[in-house]
Amino acid sequence: MNNTGEKITIVDYGMGNIRSVQRKFLELGYQAESVDNYEAVMKAEKLVLPGVGHFANGVKNLKSRGLWDAVNEKVIDQKTPVLGICLGLQLMAKHSEEGDVEGFGWLDAEVVHFDVKDKLKFKVPHIGWNSAIASKTNAFTKDLNPENLYYFVHSYHLVCRIEAEILGVTNYEYDFHSIAGRDHIIGVQFHPEKSHEAANDLINKFALFKRV
């Protein structure tokens, strides 16, 4: 087992693929647990915010379960490293068109619906395998293989307003921001837990990430 001295804590707010995310970390040799309460989140040393589904429902679930303030405090006040997956990435934005709801606001970004012109060739939702090309090198995207393919399932995507927060882009008729973050915060629009070996390097970098 990889022993980083830190557990990976996966926030379970009732929005999707918690078990498959946990299984992925376990397969790579890390300690990983899913939690659904304030006290457990506050003990976390590394957080994963997964999610599948509607943005507004994600916000509602986090708040109704008493997890919103805990996650925000850990990430902003305590600088706990966090990985957002799919909806988890989108929740890091300031606002989403999906439900017209505010997110955590960790990233200066908006979540918008795909605006494809060729609706026959580019179906929405965007489902299937696609690349994510690093646009900025940091601790998470260093040596990211541009030939890797990752699994996507989404109808909305991030639009970052600050160039420094754009870490990777994917093309689906047009380029959209598929990896974003800053400092100890990183989010990916694709599903690393469903992307086989392609995402292992990124997961390892997050699991082994050390705060400066």
Joined together, the tokens standing for residue 153 give: 């399932």
Contact 15/52 with Cβ under 8 angstroms? yes
Output the CA angle 110-153-79, nearest 5 degrees. Answer: 50
Question: What CA–CA distance (Å, rounded) separates 88 from 156?
Answer: 12
Q: Write phi, then psi, for 55 (nearest 5 degrees).
A: -55, -50
Question: What CA–CA distance (Å, rounded) separates 60 from 13?
Answer: 9
Give catalytic residue positions: 86, 191, 193
Question: What CA–CA distance (Å, rounded) separates 179 from 170?
Answer: 9
